[in-house]
Structures are given as C-alpha cells and as structure tokens.
C-alpha cells in the first residue's frame, strides 16, 4: 500500500493554493491556479502532508525570512516571499521567457539572459535551504514543474537522502529545440538527482530520454535511464481531473440557475465555449479567426451561434502576455464590429477568472467546447468539460497538440494552425446528431473517469516509493 511506504508527502511547486486558503487573498489564488494546483490540491487534501512554494507575494527584504506556515485541513502550507528582482528574473524572466516558450516549442519567443539563469539557480537554492530544515526522515518529496528542475540537486547537496521525485507539467521538447538553451546539459544533469521523473505522455518522456542519452550519454531500458550517476525511473502519468466533483457541480441547482441565465442571455442561440489562461500557447487568436471564418463561409450560422471566450489573466507582467492580450482584444473588437447585429454579438469575451464550480455551469450549457492550444502539456479544461456533460452531451473540439489528445481520441481532433479546417470542424461539431454526440461522449467519459487527479497521484507515488 502506497500510503504506508512513506511517512509524509512533501509537495514542492512554485505556485501553491495559499492564495485560496491562506496567506494572500482568495481572488489572487484563483486567478493564478492553473492545472497544477487544481489537480494536486484535491489529491493532497486526501493524504495530508506539507506543501512548500512561493507565496505569490513580493518582499522588499533581501535576505529570506523563514517560511510562513499555515495549516488548512490536513495540509501544512509553508511559503516564502520572493523579492521584486527575483520575481522579474526568475519567474517572469527565465521561467516564463526562456523555459516556457522553449518547452512549448516556440523557439523564436525564447529570450536568453545569463543573469536570469543565475537568478533561476539562486531561487532554487533558496527553496532548498528553506525547505531542508522542514524535512524529516521518511518523507517523500515530490517536486513539480519547470520552475524547480535544479531543486533536487540543491537538496542532495544539503544532504537530503530520502525519496525525491519530479513531475513536469508542460511538454518536454525534442532535443533539437531543447539544446537551443545553452544550459540544457546542466538542466539535464539536474534531472539525475531524482529517483523518478514523470511526464504526461509517451512522447514527452521519449523526448526527455533522447535528450539525456544524446547530451549526457547513458542508456534507457524502457523504464529507467542509466548513467554513471545511477538509475532514474522515467514514467508516463497522465494527469486528470476529479470527474465526480465536476458532475456534482454541473448538476447542482446553482449551476442550473446559472446555465438558464446564460442561455437566456444568448437568446437560446447555440454556445461555443473557450476557457483558457490568457497565454500565447493556447491559440486564442487562431480560434477567434476560425470562428470568424465559420461565420464568413457558412452565413447560415450567423445570428445562430455565440462564442463565449473566458480568458483568465495570467503572467501579466511578462511582455509577451501583454502583447497577446492586445491581440485578442483587437481581434474580438474587429470580429464583433464586422458581424454584430442590434440583437446579436458573436463573441462574448470575459477577461476574468471563474472558480471551477462556476465553470462547471458554463461547461454544462455549452454545445461545443473548443480547446485548441498550439501546444499544451495536458489541458484539464477538455477533461472538465467531458465530466460536466449529461444525457444530451455537447461536443469537444480538441487540438492535436495537447497531451489530452493522446487519450481523448473520440473528440473532434483539429489542427489549430489550420484556421479553415477548424472552421469546418466547428460546423461539423455544431451540426452533429445526438446519437453521434452520445456515442463519442460515452467513450470519452470512460477515459476521464479512468484517469483522474487521484490515479495520477497514486501511480506516481507508487513508483516513487518502489524505486530502488
Ligand atoms: O501547468 C503549467 C503551469 O505553469 C503551472 O506550473 C502553473 O501553476 C500554471 O501553469 C499557471 O501558471 P503561473 O503559475 O505562472 O500562473
């Protein structure tokens, strides 16, 4: 039994839900949650343990004060503040202007600065020095995402000998893209500090193993990477959602009232729904153009359908995100200006954050959910939408370039770069007969219920605790 194999689970991630439960305000936490927090939080709530990360706040102090400790339910949160400079260089800089575009295969957006890389390593060292005194023998330490790749090395340097695993929530790029980064070999070497490395899909794991073998030497036996430094297990663990909770939220009286209001507000027209953080990897402009193309090529759909695009503000101090917002604002204005009638606005654009419970009501009512990232590690919106459908299910339109497409094969799979093709697929989704919708959804919901946040967590921890 996994839970008996270690005494306490210690999760480390840059972002924690303390904004939701503790230190900062509720809206801050919700605004920035993202897939990592929404999957880990329920899983950790069931097990209890320690969650360590950045508080989301800036401090003026140069030296780091000890972590803020907040207990909520069975979880002990320990968070540290970062200085303005660290937030700029580590988070907004190296993490989100170098690693993020690189891992999502946008090499032309990668911006390299030596001082930002130094800040990245420094902040990882700070995380390790602040976390190490809180660790106890018997803990299993699970590190999350690209912000913290060197954390394992730093913890080992301080003397941590216990279990140590790492999960990457983004794609892992092919070696030719990864090695654009002058520090690629160093980051690959950092991966050797862990006993288990986890990825969402076979392809990401393969890319990582190829990079390890070609840049550092060593071999892969199908399960573990072997080098002079020892063996590191490399596994595939698809992240999921909590389908039972989403189904409950979607069926609640509150969701029913919210859905009715929504349907009335579009005057009974069909609803296409998009839900994303406002990020250039999400393909929002391409989706807006596809919707415009639908109205242009199939005028019978004018006045009969509305696109509701929910975009949660994200990384608002990073210039590429400011630019993306401008572009989305411009496109929404142009398309609405071109097609709106006195009693119909084709695109409703909601630049704000909704709670997951509120989103369930949108999912329930949407005839089509359009999830079309240009590249995405997994994408939980796709799974949440499926979980929120019932007897008269809507249609999921899904990009082939997100991790979820490896599992959710009964969705309408599209190429988000092909705007004309997406317009045709949208039409097909809007016109799909009930029997086909039901058949697809039944296959999809089985998959969504088989791979959940809980199974993801259990399988990773089972491998971490059984690793030699
Ligand atoms: O899922 C990838 C991820 O970067 C998470 O690590 C993160 O919590 C989420 O997206 C939201 O991003 P941010 O923490 O930068 O707001």
For ligand 1, say whether the CB of 169 is within 6 Å of any of its atoms: yes
CB 400 within 8 A of CB 414: yes
- Predicted confidence at residue 169, as pLDDT, reads 97
Strand order across the beta sheet in which 8-15 lies: 68-72, 75-83, 49-59, 8-15, 139-144, 163-167, 196-199, 230-236, 224-227, 219-220
Least confident span in 13-22, 67-76, 131-140: 13-22
CB 214 within 8 A of CB 224: no
- Predicted confidence at residue 73, as pLDDT, reads 79
For ligand 1, say whether the CB of 35 is within 6 Å of any of its atoms: yes
Residue owning tokens 């071109």: 338
- Predicted confidence at residue 19, as pLDDT, reads 55
* Adjacent-strand bridge partners of 341: 344
Handedness of CA 152, 154, 157, 158 (dihedral sign): negative
Q: Which of 145, 280, 373 has most ligand 1 atoms within 8 Å of CB, for mutation? A: 145
Region of residue 138 (left: phi > 0; alpha: psi -120 to 50; beta: else): left
Whether 376 is a known active-site residue: answer yes
Say what percent of the chain tops pLDDT 70. Answer: 95
Residue owning tokens 């073998």: 213
- Nearest to 360, CA basis, from 448, 444, 445, 244: 244
Tokens of 242: 């909590």
Q: How far is CA 91 from the centre of its chain?
A: 16
Q: How confident is the model at residue 211 (pLDDT cuts 50, 70, 90)?
A: very high
pLDDT tens-place string over residues 109-119: 999 999 999 99
Residue 170: phi and psi, rounded to 5, are: -105, 175
Q: How confident is the model at residue 152 (pLDDT cuts 50, 70, 90)?
A: very high
Strand order across the beta sheet in which 395-399 lies: 347-350, 305-312, 270-277, 368-371, 395-399, 412-414
For ligand 1, say whether the CB of 15 is within 6 Å of any of its atoms: yes
- Predicted confidence at residue 357, as pLDDT, reads 92
Q: How far is CA 412 from the centre of its chain?
A: 21
Distance CA 266, CA 269 (A): 6
Q: How confident is the model at residue 399 (pLDDT cuts 50, 70, 90)?
A: very high
For ligand 1, say whether the CB of 36 is within 6 Å of any of its atoms: yes
**170 CA distance to ligand 1 centroid (A)?**
9
Q: Which residue puts its alpha carbon closest to atom 13 of ligand 1? A: 32
Q: Residue 145 CA: which ligand 1 atom is closest? A: 6
- Predicted confidence at residue 243, as pLDDT, reads 95
CB 58 within 8 A of CB 65: no
Q: How confident is the model at residue 468 (pLDDT cuts 50, 70, 90)?
A: confident
**242 CA distance to ligand 1 centroid (A)?**
19
- Predicted confidence at residue 62, as pLDDT, reads 64
Q: For each of the domains in the chain, give its residue range(s) and CATH number, in order of start.
A: 8-240+453-466 (3.40.50.2000), 243-450 (3.40.50.2000)
Distance CA 148, CA 95 (A): 9
Average confidence (pLDDT) over 274-293 = 98
- Predicted confidence at residue 74, as pLDDT, reads 86
pLDDT tens-place string over residues 221-279: 999 999 998 999 999 999 999 999 999 999 999 999 999 999 999 999 999 999 999 99
CB 408 within 8 A of CB 447: yes
Mean pLDDT of the chain: 93
Q: How confident is the model at residue 176 (pLDDT cuts 50, 70, 90)?
A: very high
Q: Which of 12, 17, 29, 34 has most ligand 1 atoms within 8 Å of CB, for mutation? A: 34
pLDDT tens-place string over residues 31-67: 345 677 877 887 788 788 999 999 999 987 667 789 9
Average confidence (pLDDT) over 149-164 = 98
pLDDT at 30 over 90: no
Average confidence (pLDDT) over 409-438 = 98
pLDDT at 331 over 60: yes
For residue 258, give every residue at least 6 positions away whose Cβ sits within 8 Å of its Cβ, in sequence order, or none: 358, 361, 362
Whether 64 is a known active-site residue: answer no
DSSP letter (8 states) at residue 193: T
Pick the catalytic residue from 169, 190, 276, 367.
169
Q: Residue 100 CA: which ligand 1 atom is closest? A: 4
Distance CA 88, CA 189 (A): 25
Residue owning tokens 């880990």: 40
DSSP letter (8 states) at residue 95: I
- Predicted confidence at residue 269, as pLDDT, reads 96
Distance CA 124, CA 102 (A): 19
Average confidence (pLDDT) over 392-419 = 98
Global pTM reads 0.95
């Amino acid at each position: 039994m996994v839970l008996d194999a270690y005494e306490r689970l210690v999760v480390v991630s840059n972002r924690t839900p303390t904004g939701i439960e503790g230190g900062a305000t509720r809206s801050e936490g919700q605004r920035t949650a993202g897939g990592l927090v929404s999957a880990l939080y329920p899983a950790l709530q069931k097990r209890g343990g320690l969650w360590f990360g950045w508080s989301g706040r800036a401090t003026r102090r140069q030296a780091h004060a000890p972590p803020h400790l907040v207990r909520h339910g069975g979880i002990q949160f320990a968070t540290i503040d970062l200085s303005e400079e660290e937030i700029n260089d580590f988070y907004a800089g190296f993490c989100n202007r170098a690693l993020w575009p690189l891992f999502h295969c946008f090499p032309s957006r990668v911006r390299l600065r030596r001082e930002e890389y130094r800040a990245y390593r420094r902040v990882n060292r700070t995380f390790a020095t602040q976390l190490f005194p809180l660790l106890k023998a018997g803990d299993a330490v699970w590190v999350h995402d690209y912000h913290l790749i060197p954390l394992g090395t730093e913890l080992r340097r301080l003397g941590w000998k216990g279990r140590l695993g790492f999960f990457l929530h983004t794609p892992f790029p092919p070696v030719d893209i990864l090695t654009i980064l002058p520090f690629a070999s160093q980051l690959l070497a950092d991966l050797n500090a862990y006993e288990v490395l986890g990825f969402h899909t076979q392809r990401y794991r393969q890319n990582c193993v190829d990079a390890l073998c070609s840049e550092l030497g060593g071999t892969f036996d199908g399960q573990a990477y072997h080098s002079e430094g020892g063996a590191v297990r490399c596994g595939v663990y698809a992240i999921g959602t909590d389908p039972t909770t989403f189904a409950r939220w979607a069926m609640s009286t509150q969701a029913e009232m919210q859905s009715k209001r929504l349907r009335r507000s579009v005057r009974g027209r069909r609803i296409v729904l998009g839900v994303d953080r406002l990020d250039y990897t999400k393909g929002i402009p391409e989706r807006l153009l596809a919707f415009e193309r639908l109205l242009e090529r199939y005028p019978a759909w004018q006045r009969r359908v509305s696109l509701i695009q929910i975009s949660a503000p994200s990384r608002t101090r990073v210039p590429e995100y400011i630019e993306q917002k401008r572009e989305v604002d411009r496109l929404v204005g142009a398309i609405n200006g071109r097609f709106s009638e006195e009693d119909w606005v084709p695109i409703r654009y909601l630049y704000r954050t909704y709670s997951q419970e509120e989103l369930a009501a949108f999912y329930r009512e949407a005839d089509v959910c359009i999830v079309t990232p240009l590249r995405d590690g997994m994408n939980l919106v796709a799974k949440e939408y499926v979980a929120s459908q019932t007897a008269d299910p809507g249609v999921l339109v899904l990009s082939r370039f997100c991790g979820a497409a490896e599992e959710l094969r009964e969705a309408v799979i599209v190429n988000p770069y092909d705007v004309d093709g997406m317009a045709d697929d949208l039409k097909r989704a809007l016109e799909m007969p009930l029997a086909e919708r039901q058949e697809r959804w039944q296959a999809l919901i089985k998959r969504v219920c088989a791979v959940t946040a809980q199974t993801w967590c259990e399988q990773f921890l089972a491998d971490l605790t059984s690793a030699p």
